[in-house]
Structure 1
Amino acid sequence: MNRRPIVLTAIVGAALALTACASLQRGPVGNAAVPPPARPVELNRYAGLWYEIGRYENGFQRDCEGTTATYTVRNDGLVGVLNACRQGGLSGELKSIEGRARVVEGSGNARLKVSFFGPFYFGDYWILDHADDYAWSIVGEGSGRYLWLLSRTPQPTAAVRAQIMNRARELGYDLSLVRPTLQPSS
């Protein structure tokens, strides 16, 4: 039996898989030098419902409005993640996806590895900064292609919104790339 075609097929398959994974990171780099998270995170305080008030546009959230993320601290040491949005507008169909995250050791709970697709693909989730009272949070990852601006309320005050945007700018993010997320009125 000639093993050469099998080996060649495996190499080509691996190359295609790597190309597919690399293509998942599309879009402009809005921060070429993403800083490490600013401070530790108390997971029990971070847990709960967050409203997305802005993001860098990405393919997996295309046409999403009313976007929320709910985090739960699980008994097994992982963090449960439930992301939801309304497709096409605030009255659109509700779409959701569940995942799980594990804390990166030594990160003060500020870096997580999140998976929505089983045990084989984990993406970075960095809590870059947050309010002292956990009223807002800025989330990104190392490539600078992703950014999420989160609030505990769907309509934060103008002062809180300015605080979040100013802090994102201080972290090096290009705010011209931020797409505001529509949220229902309180």
Structure 2
Amino acid sequence: EGMDPMGEDFPLKAVIDDLSDPSKLKVGPEFLPEALYGPYWVVFAGPTQDNYEYGIVSGGPPMVTGEDGCIAGDGTNVNGEGLWLFSKDPEPEEGTVQMLKDKATELGFDLSVLQPVVHEGCTYPDDQ
């Protein structure tokens, strides 16, 4: 689910246009036409193909040169921009975070765009 500026949840929808490359999706609120969805590329996941505990997602192809690598998007700050490090654990160990940062750097991404997300104190119902 996503969250709008007023703090309301809304369902997100993912679409895979090319089943031969399922790591490249388009994602957006289901009330919008798919043509307005943004790119969501899973560029790394692990630790194994059948057990994803963490991953790196790029908001489409990195097309902007940053300070220390490339930045996803075209610089318009609209759709198709961003870099995310994901973990199933809302408070991952620092070693996991550092490994993801190292992998993103190895893939050529500029990490200066990353913003910390604090999950401390958040609750996540088991049924979601």
Bigger RCO of structures 1 and 2 (CA < 8 A, at least 6 apart): 1
Aligned partner letter, 1:180: P
Matched, 1:108 2:24: no
Q: Say whether the 8 Å CA contact 2:105–2:111 is kept in structure 1.
A: yes
Quick one: structure 1 residues 122 and 177, their matched pair in 2 at CA, closer, same or farther if it must change by over 3 Å? Answer: closer
Per-residue deviation, 1:100: 0.9
Residue 160 of structure 1 aligns to a residue whose secondary structure is helix
Aligned partner letter, 2:12: G
TM-score normalised over the length of structure 1:
0.47
- The correspondence of residues 1-186 of structure 1 with structure 2, limited to 5 A, is 82-84=1-3, 94-116=7-29, 117-119=31-33, 120-131=35-46, 132=48, 133-140=51-58, 141-142=60-61, 143=63, 144=72, 145-184=81-120
In structure 2, list runs of 5 or more residues that go unmatched: 64-71, 73-80, 123-128
| Alignment correspondent of 1:65 | none
Per-residue deviation, 1:122: 2.0
Higher gyration radius (CA): 1
Segments of 4+ moved more than 6 angstroms: none
Deviations 1:78-100 (A, max 9, x none): xxxx1359x7xxxxx85423121
Q: Say whether the 8 Å CA contact 2:83–2:113 is kept in structure 1.
A: no
Q: How many residues align?
A: 99
Per-residue deviation, 1:113: 1.5
Aligned partner letter, 1:129: F
Per-residue deviation, 1:103: 0.9
RMSD in angstroms over aligned alpha carbons? 2.3
Aligned partner letter, 2:32: G
Distance between the aligned counterparts of 2:113 and 2:39, measured in 1? 20
TM-score normalised over the length of structure 2:
0.66
Quick one: structure 1 residues 107 and 125, their matched pair in 2 at CA, closer, same or farther if it must change by over 3 Å? Answer: farther
Aligned partner letter, 2:85: L
